[in-house]
Amino acid sequence: MIRAELVDVEASMGSDKIPKDLIELGRISEALISSGYTSLDKQAEALGVHRSTAWVIIKNKHKLGRLSAKTVYRILGNPQTPPAVRTIVQQYMTKRSARKLRLGSSFKELSQNKK
């Protein structure tokens, strides 16, 4: 008999070893379920994306560990997106933009120091 156990990945690995984007994106799945969207078809409809894209978001199987801009625009542009999900995606984009700005300024400093 095979026994399946749920593991708290963040606690077992330490939150510093899990990319922050994946932790943030896991909240989308939680928000969908708490908003009553329990089936994959309903979740895809609520997000305004294809079923396969919804599966990738729900399962945290992102190729790049983040959502593409196109996917974010689809989710935020969808009138059926639940408010809880919309808030999480907006927070995710704000944090991601801030991180990009920090990385960009660090890169400029490095390139200026090499000159």
Kindly state whether residue 3 falls inside one of the protein's structural domains: no
Kindly state whether residue 72 falls inside one of the protein's structural domains: yes
Q: Are the C-beta atoms of 44 and 54 separated by less than 8 Å?
A: yes
CATH number where 98 lies: 1.10.260
Tell me the per-residue pLDDT of 22-33, one tens digit each, with 9 for 90 and over.
567 788 999 999
Kindly state whether residue 102 falls inside one of the protein's structural domains: yes
Range of the domain at 36: 19-114
Q: For the chain, how far is it from start to end, CA to CA, in angstroms? A: 64
Tell me the per-residue pLDDT of 3-24, one tens digit each, with 9 for 90 and over.
333 333 334 444 454 455 556 7
Tell me the backbone φ, ψ of residue 48, rounded to 5 degrees: 75, 30
91-113: average pLDDT: 66
Kindly state whether residue 91 falls inside one of the protein's structural domains: yes
Kindly state whether residue 12 falls inside one of the protein's structural domains: no
Kindly state whether residue 2 falls inside one of the protein's structural domains: no
Q: How far apart are CA 75 and CA 48, in angstroms?
A: 6
User: How many whole angstroms from its chain centre is CA 48?
Assistant: 15
Taking the whole predicted model, whether its pTM rises above 0.75 is answered as no
- Of 49, 115, 45, 29, residue with least CA distance to 80: 45
Kindly state whether residue 35 falls inside one of the protein's structural domains: yes
